[in-house]
Amino acid sequence: ARCDQGDGGCPGGERLTGRRVRGEGVRESALGSGSVRAMAADARALWLLVADADGSVARLERRDPRTARLFGTTRLPRRAISGLAVTPRRAWVLTRNRQLLAVDRAGRVRRALGRVTAVVAQGDQLWALRSGGRALVNLHPRTGRVRSSAPVRRPLAPRLTFTRSYVWGLEASGRAAVRLPRA
């Protein structure tokens, strides 16, 4: 949410806004400078992928999932502002040049996989779309190593999601969905 002009508690011009279900009302947390490009969460942290207005600096912020208090910041390559997914021990950042980076809670960054166009995670499930949308890949949630791969007949759009039993992709044409049983 944008801040009001002259709001001293919001130096970066943006706030993170949330509503508690139990009637506590809206709680706002001011964010630092930059623009949030992606957000993901697990039970232990809220992760924000942030880029400066000119795109010169990208960082991954790890915040308290209840209060949004900043735990730590990891500086990322400038190109690392494309996508974000979170497993219990790592954040997975997708770069514009299709590299998948693993960022652990200590802020260590390593390259995990190349030629990735989409990434999605839920719990201990980590899936990616590779090879120009022609393969769904099940990745190990700690190492990012490929556990299994399933080729698809028609290219998929760079959007994936989960249901209880399946990982779903959408054909690039937008006219068909593809499902694969979760591991």
pLDDT in tens, 100-134: 999 998 999 999 999 999 999 998 899 999 978 89
Surface-to-core class of residue 88, CB atoms within 10 Å of its CB (0-12 exposed, 13-18 middle, 19+ buried): middle
Query: Which are the contacts of 127, defined by CB distance < 8 A and separation ≥ 6?
Result: 119, 120, 121, 136, 137, 138, 139, 160, 167
For the chain, the maximum distance between any two Cα atoms, rounded to a whole number of angstroms, is 55
Instruction: Quickly tell me which residue has 């030629």 as its tokens.
Output: 115
Least confident of 32-36, 63-67, 153-157, 169-173: 32-36
Supply 151's token pair. Answer: 């080729």
- Answer whether 0.75 is exceeded by the pTM: yes
